[in-house]
Amino acid sequence: MILVLKPNVDETTREYQRLESHLTNLTSIEFRVHHVQGHEQLLTEIYLIGNTAALSLEEMRSFPGVDHAVRVSEEYRVLGRHKDDTRPSEFTYNGVRFGQDNLNVFAGLCAVDSPESVEAMMKALQENGQVCTRMGAYKPRTSPYSFQGHGKNCLKYVFELAGKYGIKVIAMEVTHESHVDEINDALDATGRPTGVMLQIGTRNTQNFELLKSVGRQQEFPVLLKRGFGITLDESLHAAEYLASEGNQKVVFGLRGMKTNIGDPHRNMVDFAHIPVVKRITRMPVCIDPSHSVGTRSRSSDGILDILHVTAQGVIAGANMILVDFHPYPNKAVVDGPQALRLEELPAFLEDVRMVREVFEKRVQLYRGESTAVGS
Ligand code: PEP
Ligand code: MN
């Protein structure tokens, strides 16, 4: 059961303390208090765990500080959608809103290789009105002999250049909890010119200790990639690890599944699951067409497969696109062959804009046919 308290509740009041002592005295029930900082108000949610079937919703709702109470009927307690659940499906970070009803593009480098590449990329993004990017500093590689990323050594110039070109959010993978501290320190050292969305890669989707530590910090939002060889349910539970530790600013990323049936693409594209994730959880959904497709193959219609699957994701309601670009793909040290080129950026953005417009028209077309999410 979830108790959503009235906004900006003061935890020092007698009302709040009466509720807290009531909950403490319940047998076989534990509770966790979560704070969600919204645009204008602080929301407090109390998660009751244990034998909550014995509790009366009416009684819980009658406590003066309680705005509403939700009986959790589904698995994904914090991030799931439940009956009569009015909790938000959006959050704002560093001035950028992430919701199930909008779309942000994160075009950028799979791996940071040089300040020149970073600067060329960011300059192009600014010229094309973009405020988000991807920049890999810590790269999880199949072979220990492959380039592992510049790590903390590149963070300062990446953040400074982001500030110079007006980039507000950088998606950056972390593979160890110490990377979060390194990112925080580098942001401090550069005067916090930008923001970071921590990315948990597909190889770490079930690294539970990493999830717990990234979930305990509430400074940075998190992009959690779906595990490439596990069920959707298992990946959604991984997202719950982040949220159950307190961080609800989570975007769920689809990036294709590892199976030979996906050949000739690097992975089997799974963007048909966008509406599924939006229906059963409150998370905005990201697509990664680059790591799904993995090649620059072009169809007989002249369009790259990466662009086709991007459009397929956008028309199904994707909320974020994480996509590899590189100013000098021949020199890229990681995933050069799948990178789009800077001169392709304007057409890419126009394509996304056109398809998003069609998605919005589709929503209008079917409005009124359904009365509730999932019906
Ligand atoms: C990436 O986005 O750089 C990456 C390695 O993705 P994934 O974890 O999906 O393979
Ligand atoms: Mn890559």
Q: Is 340 in the pocket of ligand 1 (CB under 6 A)?
A: no
Q: Which ligand has its closest atom nearest to the C-alpha of 134?
A: 1
Do residues 223 and 267 share a domain?
Answer: yes
Nearest protein Cα to ligand 1, atom 3: 110
Do residues 219 and 164 share a domain?
Answer: yes
Do residues 247 and 297 share a domain?
Answer: yes
- Listed in sequence order, the residues at least 6 apart from 325 whose beta carbon sits closer than 8 Å to its beta carbon are 107, 108, 109, 121, 124, 339, 340, 341, 342, 344, 345
CA-CA distances (angstroms) from residue 291 to 142, 201, 225, 281, 294? Answer: 14, 11, 11, 24, 5
Angle between helices 177-189 and 155-164 (to 10 degrees): 50
Taking a C-beta distance cutoff of 8 angstroms, is the pair 239, 79 a contact? Answer: yes
Q: Is 266 in the pocket of ligand 1 (CB under 6 A)?
A: no
pLDDT in tens, 220-267: 999 999 999 999 999 999 999 999 999 999 999 999 999 999 999 999
Nearest protein Cα to ligand 1, atom 6: 201
Q: Does residue 231 fall inside a structural domain?
A: yes
Q: Does residue 95 fall inside a structural domain?
A: no
pTM to 2 decimals? 0.90
pLDDT at position 355: 98
Domain span holding position 73: 2-87
Q: Does residue 49 fall inside a structural domain?
A: yes
- Listed in sequence order, the residues at least 6 apart from 137 whose beta carbon sits closer than 8 Å to its beta carbon are 111, 112, 149, 150, 151, 152, 154, 155, 158, 172, 173, 179
CA-CA distances (angstroms) from residue 138 to 76, 149, 171, 302, 316? Answer: 30, 5, 12, 34, 31
pLDDT in tens, 313-368: 999 999 999 999 999 999 999 999 999 999 999 999 999 999 999 999 999 999 97
Rounded to the nearest 5 percent, the helix, strand and coil shares of the chain are 40, 25, 40
Nearest protein Cα to ligand 1, atom 4: 201
Last-in-domain residue among 87, 117, 151: 87
Q: How far is it, in rounded angstroms, from Cα 213 to Cα 225?
A: 16
Do residues 160 and 19 share a domain?
Answer: no
CA of 176 to the centre of ligand 1 (A): 15
Do residues 199 and 115 share a domain?
Answer: yes
pLDDT at position 375: 52
pLDDT at position 349: 98
Do residues 17 and 163 share a domain?
Answer: no
Domain count, the chain: 2
Do residues 283 and 339 share a domain?
Answer: yes
Do residues 320 and 259 share a domain?
Answer: yes
For position 17, which CATH number holds? 3.30.70.1140
Angle between helices 208-216 and 177-189 (to 10 degrees): 30
Predicted confidence pLDDT, tens digits, the chain (375 residues)? 889 999 888 889 998 999 999 999 998 899 989 888 777 888 899 999 888 888 888 899 999 999 988 887 668 989 999 888 888 899 999 999 999 999 999 999 999 999 999 999 999 999 999 999 999 999 999 999 999 999 999 999 999 999 999 999 999 999 999 999 999 999 999 999 999 999 999 999 999 999 999 999 999 999 999 999 999 999 999 999 999 999 999 999 999 999 999 999 999 999 999 999 999 999 999 999 999 999 999 999 999 999 999 999 999 999 999 999 999 999 999 999 999 999 999 999 999 999 999 999 999 999 977 655 555
Do residues 12 and 142 share a domain?
Answer: no
Do residues 81 and 119 share a domain?
Answer: no
Q: Is 278 in the pocket of ligand 1 (CB under 6 A)?
A: no
Position in ligand 1 atom list of the atom nearest CA 202: 8
pLDDT at position 240: 96
Q: Which ligand has its closest atom nearest to the C-alpha of 207?
A: 1
Do residues 21 and 115 share a domain?
Answer: no
Nearest protein Cα to ligand 1, atom 10: 202
Do residues 143 and 248 share a domain?
Answer: yes
For position 138, which CATH number holds? 3.20.20.70
